[in-house]
Amino acid sequence: MKTSALVAALLSACATVSAAPVPTPPGIPSGSTAKSQLAALTVKTAVDDGTYDRDLFPHWIEQGSGCNTRETVLKRDGTNVVVNSSCAPTSGSWKSPYDGATWTAASDIDIDHMVPLKNAWISGASAWTTAKRQQFANDLTRPQLWAVTDNVNQAKSDKSPDVWKPSLTSFHCTYASSWVAVKSYWALSITSAEKSALTTMLNTC
Ligand SMILES: *[C@@H]1O[C@H](CO)[C@@H](O)[C@H](O)[C@H]1NC(C)=O
């Protein structure tokens, strides 16, 4: 290969690498936008009266073309994801943004609700219709659904950011911005402890 051809090939390879998008959910606001949204959220005590039930938020619904919400997120946020005719991933890799781990089996990935269903229930969603709760639980437009390490999703469970944060501190800005964007769009309240944790995290942006 001539030097010029080699240089061109190398440049083209570099361009491919740098142009590769980092797959993330849509709708993540900038830190400054998230701070404005946070300031506008209603702060009040969340009361867990024991009425929450996961079935009150139907998921994962079909999204068209034979894929449900979970499969749609796996395709969206993985790399080189191949699915079979039932839209189940048969190969691909997923980098979990909460802890930085990479997995090559979809079974190691959970789709996390950024704002957990139970947290939504105790911060306003108990007054919604089931149809609205279904939209929330399958929201592909806001940064609500994240493909993450299954154990990390289970450790987070229904915890708000004053109680649980992702281990990667470099992700705290994006995490808090996404949490606030979801609560803002869906007009859910926050507690004062939650607001304080989110403020600290947004200060890393
Ligand atoms: C697709 O893969 C899933 C998971 O491995 C499997 O359960 C399902 O039967 C497969 N569907 C088809 C049509 O091959």
In a domain, 7, yes or no: no
Q: Which of 115, 112, 117, 97 is nearest to 184 (CA)?
A: 115
Give residue 84 CA to ligand 1 midpoint distance, Å: 6
| Whole-number pLDDT of residue 11 | 38
List CB contacts of 168: < 8 A, sequence separation 6 or more: 97, 98, 99, 100
Ligand 1, pocket residues at CB < 6 Å: 84-86, 88
What φ, ψ does residue 2 adopt, rounded to 5°? -65, 155
| 177 inside domain | yes
Q: Which pLDDT belongs to residue 34? A: 98
Specify the amino acid at residue 90. Answer: T
- Structure tokens belonging to residue 203: 């200060």
Residue 23 has a pLDDT of 61
Contacts 24+ apart (CB under 8 A), 128-131: 130/56, 130/58
User: CA-CA distance, 2 to 19, in Å (whole number)?
Assistant: 26
Residue segments in the chain with a per-residue pLDDT below the cut of 70: 1-23
Buried b (16+ CB within 10 A) or exposed e, 113-137: bbbbbbbbbbbbbeebeeeebbbbb
The per-residue pLDDT for 3 is 40
pLDDT at 153: 98
Answer yes or no: is 8 within a domain.
Answer: no
**Per-residue model confidence (pLDDT) at position 24:** 83
Q: Does 185 reside within a domain?
A: yes
Report the separation in Å between the CA atom of 83 and the middle of ligand 1, taken as the mean of its atom positions. Answer: 9
pLDDT of residue 1: 41
Tokens representing residue 146 in the block: 């994240």
Does 55 map to a domain?
yes
CA of 176 to the centre of ligand 1 (A): 36
> 137 in a domain, yes or no?
yes
Residue with CA nearest ligand 1 atom 7: 88
Answer yes or no: is 50 within a domain: yes
State residue 65's pLDDT score.
80
Q: Tell me, what's the pLDDT at 10?
A: 39
Domain encompassing residue 190: 24-202
Strand ranges in the chain using DSSP code E only, listed in sequence order: 79-83, 89-95, 102-103, 109-113, 145-149
Task: Give the count of domains, the chain.
Answer: 1
Helix, strand, coil fractions of the chain, as percent rounded to 5: 45, 15, 40
Q: Please answer whether residues 190 and 183 qualify as being in contact, where contact means their C-beta atoms are separated by less than 8 angstroms.
A: yes
Residue 61 lies in a domain: yes
